[in-house]
Amino acid sequence: MEDVKPSKSDLNVLILDYLTAEGYPTAAERFSKEANLNPAQQQDSVLLRNRIQHDIHLGSIQNAIEAINELNPQILDSDTSLHFALLRLQLIELIRESSLTPGGNIGPALTFATTQLAPKAPSDPAFLEDLERTMALLIFPPDQLEPQLAELLHPDLRKKVADRVNEAILASQGQRRNAAIRNLVKLRSWAENASKDAKITLPEHLDLALDGDVPVADRARKSRSVMWIPRMIVAPRHSDPDVIRIAVSVPVKVQQQVPKPANPGSKRSPVKYCSRFDSYVLSSLPVKDLRTMLRLPRTAPFVSVNNAALLRTRAPQQLPSARGRAIQYASQVSRGPHALRRRPQVVGALRNPNWRLLSHTPIRSEPAKQVLKTRSRTLNFVYRTAAWLGISVTVASAGIIGFFLYDASTYREDLSQRDIQISDLALNPKRGGPKNLPIAEVLMDDEDDADMERQQNKPRLVVLGGGWGSVAMIKELRVEDYHVTLISPTNYFLFTPMLPSATVGTLELRSLAEPIRRIVSNIKGHFIKARAEGVEFSEKLVEVSQVGADGTRSHFYIPYDKLVIGVGSTTNPYGVKGLDNCNFLKDLDDARKIKHKILDNLEAASLPTTSEEERKRLLSFVVCGGGPTGVEFAAELFDLLNEDLTQYFPRLIRNEVSVHLIQSRGHILNTYDEAVSTYAEDRFSRDQVQVLTNSRVKEVRPDKILFTQKDEQGETITKELPMGFCLWSTGVSQTDFSKGVAEKLGDNQTNKHALETDSHLRLIGAPLGDVYAIGDCATVQNNVADNLVSFLNNLAYEKGKDPKTMQIEFGEWIQVGRRIRRQFPQASEHLKRLDKLFEAYDKDQSGTLDFGEMRELLMQIDKTLTSLPATAQRAHQQGQYLAHKFNKMARAAPGLTMNEVRDGDLDDAVYKSFQYHHLGSLAYLGNSAVFDLGGGWHALGGLWAVYAWRSVYFAQSVSVRTRLLLAMDWAKRALFGRDMMTF
């Protein structure tokens, strides 16, 4: 190869290929002009590839995927491995984001894993293995990950994926880079010859990080680890930069000095100190061998000091055996310039061929600070124990003193006697509206402070209900944007998922409630304890009523600019007779009544005058409904009877207790994965909880329940079950307020079970952008096919065509698909492959879709869409969505012109449609719990799952107060048992 010289054109082509492939369009364009070469790609294409790689390096994987599909959708379709790698990297970024934030939310990561990666994993065992490794990042803290898992969070993974994407794009464009081995070999040969002519050695690339800026002595003075123990110095030889010398530094010239006493007359013991260190050479070896010996990565830099790499260690035994012993023996040298040669053990160790004393003359002499006297291990342990004990006592004492000081500051005795300024309209509101009722335009606390006064002129946001959706919205709203008024018949927020635990005394009722006024005060809002009666949409008035001190109910109006309805739902009776003999579980009063009923039955059954038949009836507990509420209540009831009943009640009572669960479907927890339902049924079977499936309650009488069940021949038979307690927990229905609102809106509301909203959560039929509905009282309308005419009208308006006769081409179908995804985000999952949908419904193979074909396509999508679940999780997400949208509307609306708002739809112009992300479902089964994460992913377990179930709800609590109360209640249950008292 010595006679082979690369031509200038080869160099130019190689450089241009590098600039183009690596994403430097401007440099490639200039270089091609100067070298008189034709650019391989257009600048726009190079910029797009560069942007894709930049997004991947920044962790914006979703933006990169969208850009790849915009460039060529076939890239990810044809390379499933690359697509899975991108989705997996996006999951890692979500996990990284949640782990970096204290108390970070792992919900988005779980949602993404179940919806995007889980369906693809079964297609390839490698995919499944990679997904399992990635999901392990959610279990372990970042600082406790094994090296194989820690590599997933390293930025190098982004670079690998970015390189794969770049290669795939180049391959799709016919621009895949050739290895160009021949040209590279030419360049290497040319570089070696050029370096020889210049008398420069061309070393192997090693990042030694030798900056030569900091002198060794200065570095030593700053580093205690260098000064207080003998150290090993690794320094390159001047003759060969790839070979280093290993030396040990030993303290010499040890002297004694008596410190100056702090007080006159006191004495101080002399202190030994070392005034100089000498370094002796032990051996020399190549840099790469040293890295291998010390188990350092190839790219790990040494500590740079004065053109030398300084390695410091407190544990030389971690080095390989012979070398470690040599360093350890050399470290024992404590005095004298020739002590290294006099120590027999050191001399013996240095006879190892790999370790020999090359010179008896010190290669370096450094000044040093004083050396502290060493103590024995026992004395060190005593001193450290005393220090930690002293620190602990000091911190605890400071905490106790601080608590009492804070507690003392909370007591106030001074009463303000100043006059309070209040508007006359707050005390004597004017009348108006259809019913000529008082209109509360000004509230009593509107002028309490300067912040309240500033909000009087802000848009009025009225929130009906204090449930999950309303509280989630209140907590996310910006303080200065709205005049907020929350109206609810109860003055607390209730943590409903834990209500079954409160019915048996596991948790106290106060642990599940948070004062609404405390939540609203964070945004300087107002609270009115009243019941909503109706809405006057034309005059923007909400009619509310409240019971006064004299017991009479008064009515008045609350004006609004925006109204959010979150009044929840009520129990669905399904036409069953005798529900007044049942208990329900919707609020704190229900939980209190259930607890009293259970304990009263147990006490009555323990009386000697109670007959055997009556005792068995009193101890028969029936749960109607196999959903999460019914199942968790049955599990909590079994725990009470199994763990606490036997300790405080006669044993006969426990033997005669029976728990029955009646479910109309074939399985309990029928909305969960089938494996979860089967596990729950098996668990109840072991716990002697009778599960009656395919059974429908016909009538509930005071002493028994009548229900129908099909026998083996398929015939329906009626059975009866004696009962002393019955819980009805099946289905939800509209409240009277919701029914009144739906009736007022007429044909716009067709759903009999909930108020219908559009994808922006706006109440259908109400003035656009004025009224919203969230939570159990509402459902999002998913009628994609019914909006076909509006989709086509918009497209025809833009294209200048007649919508009745227009034929949709593929490009136009792409635009329609994007509009559908924007307006109906829940349909996005069914619109991923627009090209295949177009081919499937182009029946006549004309390359276009007519009105009928489009309608058939969208109707098929409608069939696959389901209503959103009536859960706290959905209400919470809707509340947060509205808060974020209202915040953005308050900032962006004043600057928008009418041309920017299509058809007056400010919501659509400012914010995207609501999209529900299912984070999974969980249920407690009595000393065990189940998790249904969706996509076939689930977790079943015993006590570990119980603690995981508790941790999820603990994290979802709305305040530090409720978290502390929950933790205290769980601790009290473990120490003292459940609360079995009634007040």
DSSP assignment string, 130-155: HHHHHHGGGTS-GGG--HHHHGGGST
CATH number for the domain including 700?
Answer: 3.50.50.100
- pLDDT tops 70 at residue 303: no
b/e burial code for range 418-445 (CB count within 10 A of at least 16 → b): eeeeeeeeeeebeeeeeeebbbbbbbee
Residue 960 belongs to a domain: no
Question: 829 vs 90, which has greater pLDDT?
Answer: 90
The whole-number pLDDT of residue 153 equals: 76
pLDDT of residue 881: 94
- Give tens-digit pLDDT for 195-225: 566 665 544 332 222 223 233 333 333 333 2
Residues 919-955: tens digit of each pLDDT = 889 999 988 999 988 877 888 888 899 999 999 999 9
Distance CA 500, CA 631 (A): 9
Give the model's confidence band at 301: pLDDT under 50 very low, under 70 low, under 90 confident, else very high.
very low
Tell me how crowded residue 927 is: count the other CB atoms within 10 A of its CB.
Answer: 16
Render pLDDT for 767-804 as a digit per residue (tens, 0 to 9).
988 999 999 999 988 776 566 556 666 666 666 666 66
What is the mean pLDDT of the segment spanning 422-439? 89
770 by DSSP, 3-state: which? coil
User: Based on the domain organization, do 657 and 602 belong to the same domain?
Assistant: yes
Whole-Å CA distances, 556 to 430, 546, 567: 10, 9, 18
Q: Which of the pair, 378 or 633, is modelled with greater confidence?
A: 633
**In this predicted model, which residue has the larger pLDDT, 860 or 705?**
705
| 372 has pLDDT over 50 | no
Residue at 675 is within a domain: yes
**Of the spans 117-121, 453-457, 954-958, which averages the highest pLDDT?**
954-958
Proportion of the chain in helix, strand, coil states, percent, rounded to 5: 50, 15, 35
Same domain, 657 and 700: yes
- pLDDT number for residue 865: 63
Q: What is the pLDDT of residue 114?
A: 75
Distance CA 453, CA 447 (A): 5
At CA 526, angle to CA 433 and CA 754, rounded to 5? 65
Q: Mean pLDDT, the chain, as a whole number? A: 75
Query: Mean pLDDT throughout 887-896?
Result: 79
Domain contains 618: yes
- What residues contact 840, with CB distance under 8 A and at least 6 apart? none
248 and 362 both lie in a single domain: yes
- Pick the range with the lowest mean pLDDT from 191-200, 518-527, 651-660, 676-685: 191-200
The tens digit of pLDDT for each residue in 490-541 reads: 999 999 999 999 999 999 999 999 999 999 999 999 999 999 999 999 999 9
Q: Do residues 231 and 280 share a domain?
A: yes
Higher pLDDT, 573 or 528: 528
Question: Between residues 850 and 66, which one has the greater pLDDT?
Answer: 66
Concatenated DSSP letters for 158-204? HHHHHHHHHHHHHHHTT-PPP--HHHHHHHHHHHHHHHHHTT-----
Are 224 and 339 part of one and the same domain? yes
Residue 423 — pLDDT band, cuts 50, 70, 90?
confident
Instruction: Give the pLDDT mean for 150-160.
Output: 78
**Residue 525: inside a domain:** no
Q: What is the CATH number of the domain that holds 557?
A: 3.50.50.60
3-state secondary structure 506-539: CCCHHHHEEEHHHHHHCCCCEEEECEEEEEECCC
Q: 441 and 545, same structural domain? A: yes
Q: What is the pLDDT of residue 272?
A: 45
Q: What's the whole-number mean pLDDT along residues 21-33?
A: 63
Which residues span the domain enclosing 853? Answer: 786-866
Radius of gyration of the chain (CA): 38
What is the structure's pLDDT at 731?
79
Same domain, residue pair 554 and 667: no
- Residue 466 is predicted with a pLDDT of 92
User: Residue 895 and residue 529: Cα distance in Å, rounded?
Assistant: 37
Cβ–Cβ under 8 Å, residues 759 and 823:
yes
Looking at residue 249, its pLDDT comes to: 47
Please identify, among 886, 914, 942, the residue that sits at the C-terminal boundary of a domain: 914
Length of the chain: 983
Q: Are both 346 and 456 inside the same structural domain?
A: no
Q: What phi and psi, each to the nearest 5 degrees, are found at residue 717?
A: -125, 155
Domain count, the chain: 5
Residue 327 has pLDDT above 50, yes or no: no
Residue 585 has pLDDT above 90, yes or no: yes
pLDDT in tens, 379-391: 888 988 999 999 9
Lowest mean pLDDT among 68-82, 138-152, 407-421, 436-450: 138-152
* Least confident stretch, 95-109, 318-332, 478-492, 518-532: 318-332
Residues 52 and 161 in one domain: yes
For residue 812, give the CATH number of its domain: 1.10.238.10
Structure tokens at 316: 């030389």
Would you state the pLDDT for residue 151?
74
**Do 756 and 806 belong together in one domain?**
no
The Cα–Cα gap between 703 and 601 comes to 13
Over 80: is that where the pLDDT of 670 sits? Answer: yes
Residue 444 domain-assigned (yes or no): yes
pLDDT of residue 61: 84
Can you tell me the distance from the alpha carbon of 558 to that of 543, in angstroms, rounded to the nearest whole number? 7
Question: What is d(CA 529, CA 517) in angstroms, rounded to the nearest whole number?
Answer: 10
Alpha-carbon distance of 917 to 878, in angstroms, equals 10
**Shared domain check, 597 and 612:** yes
Q: Is residue 125 part of a domain?
A: yes
pLDDT higher than 90, residue 144: no
Residues 220, 344, single domain; the answer is: yes
Eight-class DSSP state of 784:
T
Residue of 89, 94, 93, 114 whose CA lies nearest to 106: 94
* Position 877 in a domain: yes
Share of the chain above pLDDT 70, in %: 65
Give the residue ranges of DSSP H helices in 893-940.
906-910
pLDDT recorded at residue 239: 45
Least confident of 268-272, 670-674, 724-728, 888-892: 268-272
Distance CA 882, CA 779 (A): 15
Task: Say if 461 falls within a structural domain.
Answer: yes
